[in-house]
Amino acid sequence: MKDLFEKCQQYNKVNIIKENNMYPYFHYLNSGQDIVVNMEGHRVIMIGSNNYLGLTSHPEVIEASIKATEKYGSGCSGSRFLNGTLDLHLELEAELAEFLHKEEAVIFSTGFQSNLAIISAIAGRNDYIICDKENHASIYDGCRLSFARMLRYEHSDMIDLERQLQLVPEDKGCLIVTDGVFSMGGDLCKLPEIVKLAKKYGARIMIDDAHGLGVFGEHGRGTAEYFGLENDVDIIMGTFSKSLASLGGFMVAKKEVCNYIRHTSRPFIFAASIPPSCVASALTSLRILKREPERVKNLLDITEYMRNNLKARNLPIRESQAPIIPINTYDDIRTFYACKVLFDNGVYVNPCISPAVPVGEAIIRTSYTATHTKELMDEAADIIKKVFDELPSVEYFKKFAEENNL
């Protein structure tokens, strides 16, 4: 019998990257998540976080987390389905549903689990799911878990979406699933066109708005509010780990859809509920968002300031609409190297390589926070410019890869 662990023993790419001082992952924080952090003992400007509204360090959020732990303890010791539901869970669900203009909400233990739980329950063997090719990995895994037939359309290509819709038999159910804001490129889905096609063919729509909540719309309700189409989206999914400064995820939809998910979704039924501290943090963050919608404007304003900063320095950025600005690096190992050098010079960013992006389209993903200052953005932009001016070519790193069998 072949040794199952043979693949592990032969996996040496990481060791080669580490030996050449280009490994960009698993840096550890010595401080809380903020616009400037202490990471591995030195000061780093954080432009690689999803802390969009800057609430992870808000004193009200921290206080709510502490008080919830003091009242309820450190965990729930069970699933929502059985002994793990607190009055806090119900309070958060009610306020999410009201805020997002839907009948009911269901909260889950993580954002990734939310997509697994929703998609695998709502679509079955006799249904179809049509998926944007650049959707988040959790959507793809939810599709696989559902046993529905998955069709994919080219990214934001509405002609291809209609082509896929035409392949669905009239006697089959169909769900169109798309990111509201695509997490790598920072672009928005073409929701108006998606809604028109869904109505034409009788499909339902689900939006993963993990990067839209607290980011778009006059009140921060996300992609559907931004386009004025809240009543036309059947299911909105989101996370607490970004704008709401906590951990977990949620969905909002009609009452009967939420009821069905609660009673049929294996990832929901068999998972422990999120702990009291996380519920209280998310609930307090939601209330701050409702009270201070100007944070949304501040977020987009500082992002636009940084975008113009990077353009003025002739850096190879991609156009985007969200507080996510991708910088082209093209080659995977070149991306690792650039991220490591930026970190060493005091700027934290995220490497995004295949399969998160297509081969040859690697990027550095930078992301921004409502509480970032112009002074910090100027400092970060100067460092990025310096690093890119000295960055070896794509050909240099391709040769390195060939020599090391990477």
Active site residues: 183, 211, 242
Six-digit token string for 200: 């034409």
Cα separation of the two ends of the chain: 28
The dihedral built from the CA positions of residue 303, 307, 313 and 317, taken in this order, carries a sign that is positive
Judge contact between 397 and 331, C-beta under 8 A.
yes
What's the DSSP call for residue 3? -
What's the DSSP call for residue 338? H
Supply the DSSP string of 191-228, one letter for each residue.
HHHHHHHHHHHT-EEEEE-TTTTTTSSTTS--HHHHHT
Q: From CA 167, how far away is CA 311, in angstroms rounded?
A: 43
Burial 308-333 (b: 16+ CB within 10 A, else e): ebbeeeebebbebbbbbbbbebbbbb
Q: Left if phi > 0, otherwise alpha if psi is -120 to 50, otherwise beta: which for 131?
A: beta
Supply the DSSP string of 351-364, one letter for each residue.
EE-TTTS-TT-EEE
Amino acid at 155: H
Length of the chain: 406
10 Å Cβ neighbour count for 39?
17
Mention every residue, 6+ apart, whose C-beta is less than 8 A from residue 10. Answer: none
For the sheet with 42-46, list strands across it. Answer: 36-39, 42-46, 347-348
Which residue is listed with tokens 């890869």?
401
Supply the DSSP string of 244-311, one letter for each residue.
TSSS-EEEEE-HHHHHHHHHH-HHHHTSBPPPHHHHHHHHHHHHHHHH-THHHHHHHHHHHHHHHHHH
Q: Are strands 127-132 and 173-179 parallel, antiparallel or unpaired?
A: parallel
Q: From CA 186, how far away is CA 321, in angstroms rounded?
A: 6
